[in-house]
Structure 1
Amino acid sequence: MSKSNEQEETLVFQSVAPAAATSNSGVSRCDCLAHRFGNAGDHPDRAARYPSDTTDAEWAIVRAAMPVPAWLESRRGRPESYCHRQMLDAVFYLLDGGIKWRAMPLDFPPWDRVYAFFRRWRDRGLTIELHDRLRAKVREDAGRDPEPTAAIIDSQTIRSTPTIPVATSGYDGNKKTVGRKRHLLTDTIGMLLAVTVTPADVGDRDAGQHLIERAGARHHRIRLIWADGGYTGFLVSWCAAVLGLILEIVKRSDDAEGFEILPRRWVVERTNAWLCRTRRLDRDYERRPDSSEAMIYWSMVMLMRRRLARRPG
């Protein structure tokens, strides 16, 4: 395939990127935008060697869903100097292995460049953008509409490390745990719709109001949300009066003994279990709550890229 034809290759979401006159990249097997139009060719390729590395099939899916860099649309910034695939694999390695940023292996780009990539995507909303595009594809493959009409909400208390600022940490009296709470809103197949991270002493109703309001601004078709007994009270009437949606409380039977699978609620509980498979999320190590939220989105990106690459056909 000629170089001109390669540059005209259809990238589902990146097709809006303007054509570049020349490429600064050297010869490389990678087809990311940083290699094709940026300066990533100044750095060598790396061989995949870790379980968290993106396979070629997974990369084809992720590449098509990645946001177009601002510098490629002549908006701001300068052409990136490191391969997008290497940057993603570095973030995935940190998540999967639970390592410190400074412990990044030498075959990845320098740790401070990887962290700068993570921080830039967090602050500009690019992590959520990539996540939401992959989630829409997962829903389509499951025979569902890309935008959900129903959701499930729940929270999970996670222990924090001593490096977490006191102002963003708290004590959960019910779980007898010092740390933070992850408040998740998922669709009916367990894909993440929104997340907010708070100190552990913040109540479910207060955090749930903020989370549902945030999700409602991005997912206008949601009309029904299932929740546990921790969300009873003013939140039910607030959802109906302000957002026009039903918050249905799914309670455990008073006669039930031992473990009981509750309708709908088990879906979000499974998502919490998926997240805890990622070692970086086993505890909260992030100094900033929005970094914790970004890590959760990246964890779901890892899960969805594998699921989409395994689909038949």
Structure 2
Amino acid sequence: MIDSQSVKADAIVDAGSRGFDGGKLINGRKRHVVVDTLGLLLAVMVTAADIGDRAAAKVLLGQVADAHHRLELVRADGGYTGSLVEHCLAAFALVLALVRRSDDTRGFVGLPKRWIVERLFAHPMQSRRPVRDFERRTTSAEAMVHWSMTMVMIRRLTRSRLARA
């Protein structure tokens, strides 16, 4: 799954690395993530909030395709429509499947696998620091997402070890 999340930026964040997301009405940055079916982070990229999902997805999916050669299918929401589907197939040999919401669907109940990426966005929000973007550099903001997901993986590993004992 690929998706993005807009996050408010603090006053110390440079104006060159922040933007305004007109859809969410947020002045800050966007976290673009790709997760696997278990909800584990494969890649993250932090951009200004005014960068479109499709433009960031071209770069991010290129990084994921290079690092994970067995990846064949990526699911995305309606924000990734257009020429991105053909670009993924031609450039990266990835099938970009769009998970569309019907008019009578409420929440994520009727959307297969959409909840996996939304659950990933909830994990950093449980930590205090990644709730708002306080980082001056985008690489530091990406590191905060990696740190948050490392804590999730540690909890999952220790939980399974405690259950076996």
User: Normalised by the shorter chain, which TM-score bucket?
Assistant: over 0.9
* SS of residue in 2 equivalent to 1:285: coil
1:275 Cα offset (Å): 1.5
1:241 is matched with: 90
- Taking the aligned partners of 1:259 and 1:187, their CA distance within structure 2 comes to 21
Identity among equivalent positions (%) equals 49
CA RMSD, aligned part only?
Answer: 0.9
TM-score by length of structure 1 reads: 0.50
2:41 is matched with: 192
Deviation string for 1:80-114 (max 9, x for gaps)?
xxxxxxxxxxxxxxxxxxxxxxxxxxxxxxxxxxx
* SS of residue in 1 equivalent to 2:97: strand
* SS of residue in 2 equivalent to 1:290: helix
Contact 2:8 2:27 in 1 (8 A): yes
Find 2:141's aligned residue among 286, 292, 309: 292
Deviation string for 1:106-149 (max 9, x for gaps)?
xxxxxxxxxxxxxxxxxxxxxxxxxxxxxxxxxxxxxxxxxxxx
Letter in 1 for 2:15: V
Per chain length, whose mean CA-contact separation is higher, i.e. which structure has more relative contact order (CA < 8 Å, sep 6+)?
Answer: 2
**Larger relative strand fraction:** 2
Find 1:205's aligned residue among 54, 71, 96: 54
1:214 is matched with: 63
1:155 is matched with: 4
1:229 is matched with: 78
Find 2:127's aligned residue among 278, 284, 287: 278
Deviation string for 1:47-102 (max 9, x for gaps)?
xxxxxxxxxxxxxxxxxxxxxxxxxxxxxxxxxxxxxxxxxxxxxxxxxxxxxxxx
Moved over 6 A (4+): none
- Taking the aligned partners of 1:296 and 1:229, their CA distance within structure 2 comes to 24
2:107 is matched with: 259
Structure with the greater alpha carbon radius of gyration: 1
* SS of residue in 1 equivalent to 2:20: strand
Name stretches of at least 5 consecutive residues in structure 1 with no aligned partner: 1-151
1:193 Cα offset (Å): 0.2
Letter in 2 for 1:275: P
TM-score by length of structure 2 reads: 0.95
1:260 Cα offset (Å): 3.8
- Taking the aligned partners of 1:239 and 1:183, their CA distance within structure 2 comes to 16
1:164 is matched with: 13
